[in-house]
């Protein structure tokens, strides 16, 4: 249980959309809470989430392919890039967004045989532009997915439906089609995961096995590379933080609508519409000037 001071300013990751008790506590204490995850940017997107997605995507390949596929860690004992004369490992990436793109870059870099599935034709065309013949792109549908996981050494779940639980694309039963000691990394675990069998784990015991498939489902993957993650995050959050400190919160919110988008609670009001809808609490916008 977290205790808040009356009227305090909070500037951090909140993730209260699925945490009503915490939201209610913030409202009760009239906390002025700016949530990293809902701050927007002039270029679109959620600038405080993007670097964490980039890191998680890159780590997904490293964790799954360069660590847990190794025999001493319980994997198949496959080197992703193979060596000349020996087959390369098959990496299947489900979802071609920021996480998938970064996972793909690392998998291609390690020399793996990479397949990316997505439902967006234009996103797959972007992969074709960037990676040409180094990646196979496939429309994501049940037929293609099942074909792919049968051959996979490493499957990375990188499916994101903004503001919704991730769809369960691979069932417990499907795992039986996979190779023994192959590896799954579920980067969508924050949103419930895209494998039926996923459940969140931590860095001190990151994996478990279901139907002979190793699961890596660490929710806070970027914590593994804390130095890189800290630099990436502060580069994004510092500017707003300095503005809040220098100008005062209200003036900072008045000057920058993207920061205002980050405001989740203020003076007992729930000020972010999406969060309000998700929590079924009345949405009360505030304005500053």
Both tokens of 182, joined, read: 């192959």
Residue by residue, DSSP assigns 4-61 as --TT-EEEE----TT-HHHHHHHHHTT-EEEEGGG---TTSS-TTTHHHHHHHHHHHH
- Whether 122 contacts 96, CB under 8 Å: no
Is residue 204 annotated as a catalytic residue, yes or no?
no
181 with 74: CB under 8 angstroms? yes
How many residues make contact with a second copy (CB under 8 A)? 72
Residues 152-191 as x/- pattern, contact with a second copy by CB under 8 A: ----------------------------------------
Stretch binding a second copy (CB under 8 A), from 17-25, 60-68, 184-192, 208-216? 60-68
Return the number of the residue (202 or 288) whose C-beta is nearest a second copy: 202
Closest CB to a second copy among 107 and 276? 107
Candidate list 3, 6, 84, 289; residue touching a second copy; CB under 8 A: 84
Judged by CB under 8 A, the chain residues 95 through 114 that form the site for a second copy are 102, 105-106, 108-114
Residue 67: is it exposed, middle or buried by C-beta count within 10 angstroms (0-12/13-18/19+)?
middle
Query: Which residue from 14, 34, 69, 249 is in contact with a second copy, where contact means CB under 8 A?
Result: 69
Please say whether the beta carbons of 178 and 149 come within 8 A: yes
Residues 123-152 that bind a second copy (CB under 8 A): 123-125, 127-130, 132-134, 136-139, 141
State the Cα–Cα distance between residues 213 and 181, nearest whole angstrom: 5
Q: Which member of 16, 36, 39, 51 binds a second copy (CB under 8 A)?
A: 51
Q: Based on the residue annotation, tell me whether 118 is a catalytic residue of this protein.
A: no
**Closest Cα partner for 130 from 153, 151, 148, 114?**
114
259 touches 245 (CB < 8 A): no
Does residue 236 touch a second copy according to CB under 8 A?
yes
Using CB under 8 A, which of 41, 161, 209, 288 touches a second copy?
41
In the complex with a second copy, which residue's Cβ is closer, 121 or 277?
A: 121
The residues annotated as belonging to the active site are: 15, 190
């Amino acid at each position: 249980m977290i205790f808040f001071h009356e009227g305090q300013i909070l500037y951090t990751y909140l993730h209260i959309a699925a945490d009503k008790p915490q939201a209610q506590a913030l409202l009760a204490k009239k906390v002025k809470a700016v949530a990293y995850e809902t701050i927007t940017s002039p270029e679109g997107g959620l600038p405080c989430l993007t670097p964490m997605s980039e890191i998680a995507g890159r780590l997904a390949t490293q964790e799954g392919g360069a660590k847990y596929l190794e025999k001493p860690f319980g994997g198949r004992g496959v080197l992703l890039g193979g060596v000349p004369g020996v087959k390369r490992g098959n990496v299947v990436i489900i979802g071609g967004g920021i996480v998938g793109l970064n996972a793909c870059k690392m998998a291609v870099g390690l020399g793996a045989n990479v397949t990316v599935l997505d439902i967006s034709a234009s996103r797959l065309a972007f992969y074709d532009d960037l990676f040409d013949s180094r990646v196979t792109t496939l429309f994501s549908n049940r037929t293609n997915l099942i074909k792919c996981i049968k051959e996979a050494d490493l499957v990375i779940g990188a499916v994101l439906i903004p503001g919704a639980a991730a769809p369960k694309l691979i069932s417990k039963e499907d795992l039986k089609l996979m190779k023994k000691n192959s590896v799954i990394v579920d980067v969508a675990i924050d949103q419930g995961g895209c494998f039926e069998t996923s459940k969140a784990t931590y860095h001190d015991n990151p994996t478990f096995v279901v139907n002979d498939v190793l699961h890596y489902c660490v929710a806070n993957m970027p914590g593994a590379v804390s130095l890189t993650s800290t630099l990436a995050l502060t580069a994004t959050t510092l500017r707003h933080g300095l503005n809040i400190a220098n100008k005062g919160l209200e003036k900072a919110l008045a000057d920058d609508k993207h920061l205002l988008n980050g405001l989740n609670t203020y003076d007992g009001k729930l000020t972010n519409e999406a969060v309000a809808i998700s929590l079924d609490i009345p949405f009360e916008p505030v304005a500053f000037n």
